[in-house]
Amino acid sequence: MYHKFKIMDIDLRFRDRISNLLSLSITCNIKAMTITIINGPNLNLLGDRETSIYGSVPFEDYLKELKQQYPEIDFNYFQSNIEGELVDALQKTKGEGQGIILNAAGFTHTSVSIADAVAAIPVPVIEVHISNILSREDYRHKSLIAPYCKGSLFGFGLDGYRLAVEALLHIL
């Protein structure tokens, strides 16, 4: 929230300090929010792996577009094929950001540890899947992490990440 006021109405002792602070805040690139994106196994292969399902754009290229769309957001990005590293990344975000976008990939359906990590952190998590997990194999229909997330998005391709950003902006 911003308050409009005239610098002339302020006590002379503070006028110069406030004027300097106002000019500083105008010239600084202040990020309003930090969102961490955590991608699980095989998502490092986006752009090459099963392009009929996951598309032909590498995630790093998409992330550049996302950063351009939302310059006010500081995006942290982490990807690992190792379950324990994903748990560590979730726990680390506890004090580092306002929201998490999580694509746990295959661990979505099998990892009690990742589900427990999501349940344990106070940061809102949006679950994302590039493909429609309900139109795929039966074992992909169950998400162990969904009950602990603010919401889940699947089937929208990489645009699901943008939709998750919008959801977090609405929630926060």
Candidates 3.40.50.9100, 3.40.50.720, 3.30.1490.20, 3.40.630.30; CATH matching 31-171: 3.40.50.9100
Please count the CA atoms within 13 angstroms of the CA of 139 that sit on its side-chain side.
Answer: 6
- State the DSSP code for 166: H
What is the average per-residue pLDDT within 50-57? 86
Among the listed residues 54, 62, 148, 161, the single catalytic one is 54
**70 labelled catalytic:** no
Choice among 8-22, 85-99, 149-163 with the minimum mean pLDDT: 8-22
Which residues, other chains included, contact 114 with Cβ-Cβ below 8 Å and sequence gap of 6+?
Answer: 83, 86, 87, 90, 104, 107, 108, 144, 145
pLDDT at res. 139: 79
Q: What is the spatial distance between Cα 64 and Cα 56, in angstroms, rounded to a whole number?
A: 15
**62 labelled catalytic:** no
pLDDT digits (tens, 9 = 90+) for 13-33: 555 554 554 444 443 445 579
Q: What is the spatial distance between Cα 122 and Cα 76, in angstroms, rounded to a whole number?
A: 17
pLDDT at 170 over 80: yes
